[in-house]
């Protein structure tokens, strides 16, 4: 079994338009990918790290 020692959340999206041209739907998509994705990855990996006792 491989231990998880670190998690790097380094991914995200942004529409190819100016911020001032973004719609609320554009904003929701960005937040769902960028924040919700980070939340889900961190929650999953953190649980495994806690089980392994590798949380520092």
Q: What is the pLDDT of residues 8-43, one digit of tens each?
A: 999 899 999 999 999 999 999 999 999 999 999 999
Q: What 3-state class would DSSP assign to 41?
A: helix
Neighbours of 46 (CB within 10 A): 13
How much is the pTM? 0.70
DSSP string, 8-21: --------SS-GGG
DSSP string, 25-43: HHHHHHHIIIIIHHHHHHH
Q: Is residue 2 predicted with pLDDT exceeding 90? A: no
Find out whether 45 and 8 touch, Cβ atoms under 8 Å: no
pLDDT value at residue 32 = 93
């Amino acid at each position: 079994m491989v231990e998880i020692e670190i998690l790097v959340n380094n991914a995200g999206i942004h529409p190819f338009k100016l911020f001032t041209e973004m719609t609320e739907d554009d904003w929701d998509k960005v937040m769902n990918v960028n924040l919700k994705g980070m939340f889900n990855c961190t929650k999953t990996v953190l649980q495994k790290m806690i089980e392994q006792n590798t949380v520092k």
